[in-house]
Structure 1
């Protein structure tokens, strides 16, 4: 089986398709897109990006601030539903693309505000509340993640839910957890719009506390397209 649609670059992330619109069996040959499935079966078509230095590997990309409001709302609805029963007290948003989702999830959980982390240092920030971080989409641009000292009282003694857009290698979220550990915070859980492959499971402590609205596997080259990498099958 092979994937038929070829969309213009700006056309991705703009609509949700009905269940079964696109094939997603293990033997499917993907060309330029991968259909991720929401819990209700609806599909979101994601563009494929060839990984640098991967020898032909690729991943499915989600850039949430380029998505339609319909798609963003649908993902945020699922993320909030996945955690509402555990009643988080406060949401921590991971920059950059995790922040709009954190806002949306916090609102759906009935919160009046969230605690945003930052990668731009303000003069009142401190080294003690910072940690270096990298991401799969920006491997050569090392950043530092900061927690505003004024936000610490909002987190201590409370049930904290961390919200980000995508978990892939796990390095960014591992940095966030290391930062929160400096103020003796162990989050209730981590909510992401997409789980990308499974590499992150060996990097993030208590990886079972990570919940994604959708999942996508890592892919490897096969002929003129891509197939799901055997060692990166979607987790059940």
Structure 2
């Protein structure tokens, strides 16, 4: 069975998409090993389920730099398609995993390059062009997010698309937004492969009214709770 393969060989997650209807979307006993994400064209991508500390809730996971090139290319092409109505001139990627998606998304938009933000401080970086950064997947680590000052001419007066791999709590994307704001830049759109639950929406709305309306995502995944049958089901 497909679930058995993922359980015994977890490295095969994120390696291929499958046609619409391959995976059950509402199995009678809940989702066990994986959650089937629905792509814009109807195809599905199996995402591993990560149980949270409370033992009663879980999230579907995407680690995009462990995905196959085929899957990354599909996600990047889909994101670029969603971004085109915003007419971005330049793509800015958030470290670390957002960079994996930002580069091919920029290529799909016909751009010759993209701008990578960084958590590694080079000696010519300036502290005033940095903000604190904390990731939901590494809550005990606080870093700083930097923009290479030499990249400012690429961004000033341009229509910017800010890209991360996943929007979950909104913490990482807010750091990127605040850093760009320090530089006088307001992105026309915010893009991600996965919109994980809707927690990010409140955080962005508190930051700036209407900001969530600029968010685009290739697919959405819900918070999962224990199903009476032993698996996981989307929270109502």
So what's the TM-score if we normalise by structure 1?
0.92
Aligned pair partner of 1:222 in 215, 227, 233 = 227
Report which of the two has the higher share of helix.
Answer: 2
**Contact 1:26–1:228 at 8 Å: present in 2 too?**
no
Question: 2:19 aligns to what?
Answer: 18
The one-character-per-residue Cα deviations of 1:19-68 (angstroms, maximum 9, x if unpaired) are 0111213976111110000011100000011123x342111111111111
Question: 1:89 aligns to what?
Answer: 89
More moved, 32-41 vs 130-139: 130-139
Ranges in structure 1 where 5+ consecutive residues have no aligned partner: 231-236
Paired residue secondary structure (1:132): strand
**Contact 1:34–1:60 at 8 Å: present in 2 too?**
yes
Ranges in structure 2 where 5+ consecutive residues have no aligned partner: none
Q: CA deviation at 1:86?
A: 2.6
**Contact 1:102–1:164 at 8 Å: present in 2 too?**
yes
**Contact 2:29–2:227 at 8 Å: present in 1 too?**
no
- Residues in 2 aligned to 1:154 and 1:4: alpha-carbon distance in whole angstroms: 46
Question: 1:234 aligns to what?
Answer: none
Question: 1:44 aligns to what?
Answer: 45
Aligned pair partner of 1:207 in 212, 220, 224 = 212
- Judged with a 3 Å threshold, the aligned counterparts in structure 2 of structure 1 residues 17 and 128 are, in CA distance, closer, same or farther, namely same
RMSD of equivalent CA atoms: 1.6
Question: 1:233 aligns to what?
Answer: none
Paired residue secondary structure (2:141): strand
So what's the TM-score if we normalise by structure 2?
0.92
- Judged with a 3 Å threshold, the aligned counterparts in structure 2 of structure 1 residues 26 and 9 are, in CA distance, closer, same or farther, namely closer
- Residues in 2 aligned to 1:183 and 1:161: alpha-carbon distance in whole angstroms: 15
Moved over 3 A (4+): 25-28
**Contact 2:29–2:231 at 8 Å: present in 1 too?**
no
